[in-house]
Amino acid sequence: MARQKGFIETNVYEEAKKRIHHIYDTHDHVNVAFSGGKDSGVTLNLVWEVAQERGLDHVDSHHRDEEFNPSFILDNIKHYFDQDWCNLTWYCVPRSSTMFVLGKSIEIVKWDPSGDREWVRPKPEWAETLDDTKEIFGQDNFDAMIANTYKSGKVAIVNGIRAEESIVRYRSVANKLHDNYIVKSFSPRATLCKPIYDWLVQDVFKYFYDTGHRYSAWYEQQLWSGDALRVASPLIAESMKTIEKWAQMDPEFYNRLTAVFPEVRAHERYKGTIDEKHIIEQYGQDMQGVLQWIKANVDAESSTYNTMLAKWKNLDGLTKSEPERYMPDGTCKWILGHFMSGKILHGDIYPPTTARIRAAKRNARPKINQNRRKK
């Protein structure tokens, strides 16, 4: 039987709190992943509301410091770090990542322990640094580390991921009928929980407006500069499209960043000469073209290269096994875009099906109904 959409007499705020109660009921420990951004900020405050309703006096939380955060974000994280109810652990640990410069993805390590480069800023004195480990963290072993901070029991890692933000995030919650906001993590002891997955950005800012809770002033800077309202590394492909705006929004941070990564200034100066559409047309005609782009633009001796090859092989097999479903016009260009931006490194992607593309065109973004009810 096909699924059908309907409306119920409730709203996203009430539903989010019900989900958080359910998370507490089904897990031994609850820990909120707080980036300092608006979505995880809403989630942290919602969990605190529920915790108080359950007679608890604190919320466990953690922040994974990405090194490349501007001062506006750091100030907001420190605000919550200083709250008595927020038991927040601040981690500054090496993490594999990429930098997108003039059409190429370059492998880097945040908080690089090798000494090959300076850090953009010093680690906070209160941070957990794990200096005695040589491990480079990704999402898999970081989730496991959070789970292992508890001696036993099932751990819920609660985040602020919203389905509105991308098709990948939408698919992560659309593929389950029950408890679709609770999914497996890389750690067998932990699950990833997304209680605000169905919130729109308007819901997020309305919550801050109604409650008076603090959010980062970084969004005010982005609003005035015309940049997208998001907390993300300045070195990813999406941010590098408008990197010159970072110089306007936080010039001191921008100067520190470009002192460590002078390639950023080169990218800012010459990015207009990169014809991204031409690259996608050249390499995005089929999966072999995507493979050629990887070989031509990614260092063959890097772990990024090996990861991208493995991801390409998986996607190539998927498109070959069900070409009628997974190979509508434009699919390879869509896949290539994820490789070029580096998004492919942060999780699995699934080619949009023909049916989903048609549905997306048919259901162009609707006007926001302030009395919107949850699906």
End-to-end CA distance of the chain: 18
Mark residue 111 as left, alpha or beta (left: phi above 0; alpha: psi -120 to 50; beta: remaining). left
Alpha-helix runs per DSSP H in the chain:
12-26, 38-53, 71-81, 139-147, 167-174, 201-211, 218-225, 237-240, 244-249, 251-260, 263-270, 276-283, 287-297, 303-321, 323-326, 331-341, 354-362
Does residue 71 form part of some domain? yes
Tokens representing 84 are 């008595």
Residue-level pLDDT at 373: 46
Phi and psi at residue 205, in whole multiples of 5°?
Answer: -75, -30
Q: Quick one: 185 and 280 in the same domain?
A: no
* Tens digits of pLDDT across the chain (375 residues): 455 666 677 899 999 999 999 999 999 999 999 999 999 999 999 999 999 999 999 999 999 999 999 999 999 999 999 999 999 999 999 998 888 888 777 889 999 998 889 999 999 999 999 877 778 887 778 899 999 999 999 999 999 998 876 555 455 555 555 667 888 887 889 999 999 998 999 999 999 999 999 999 888 888 887 777 788 888 888 888 888 888 888 999 999 999 999 999 998 888 877 767 778 888 888 888 888 888 887 877 777 788 888 888 888 888 888 776 666 667 888 888 888 877 777 666 666 555 554 554 455 444 444 454 444
Q: Domain ends where: 156, 176, 211? A: 211
Rounded to whole angstroms, the Cα distance separating 281 from 96 reads 30
DSSP code for 353: P
Rounded to whole angstroms, the Cα distance separating 72 from 105 reads 27
User: Nearest Cα to 326, choosing from 287, 283, 273?
Assistant: 287
Does residue 74 form part of some domain? yes
Spell out the SS3 assignment of 156-224. EEECCCCHHHCHHHHHHHHCCCCCCCEEECCCCCEEEECCCCCCCHHHHHHHHHHHCCCCCCHHHHHHH
User: Nearest Cα to 285, choosing from 319, 333, 350?
Assistant: 333
Does residue 174 form part of some domain? yes
Residue-level pLDDT at 351: 60
CB-CB contact of 126 with 81 (8 Å): yes
DSSP code for 128: B
Q: Quick one: 204 and 320 in the same domain?
A: no
Rounded to whole angstroms, the Cα distance separating 289 from 353 reads 20
Mark residue 342 as left, alpha or beta (left: phi above 0; alpha: psi -120 to 50; beta: remaining). left
CB-CB contact of 330 with 137 (8 Å): no
Q: CA-CA distances (angstroms) from residue 278 to 230, 281, 283, 284, 285?
A: 28, 5, 9, 10, 11
Residue-level pLDDT at 179: 65
Does residue 265 form part of some domain? no
Residue-level pLDDT at 38: 94
Rg value, the chain, Cα? 21
Q: Quick one: 206 and 307 in the same domain?
A: no
Q: Which domain holds residue 56?
A: 12-98+110-211
Amino acid occupying residue 14: E
Residue-level pLDDT at 177: 53
Residue-level pLDDT at 368: 46
Does residue 141 form part of some domain? yes
Number of structural domains found in the chain: 2
Tokens representing 229 are 């309202």
Q: Domain ends where: 211, 237, 265? A: 211
Residue-level pLDDT at 205: 93
Beta-bridged to residue 105, according to DSSP, are: 100
Does residue 2 form part of some domain? no
Burial level of 270, CB count in 10 A (0-12/13-18/19+)?
Answer: exposed
Residue-level pLDDT at 3: 58
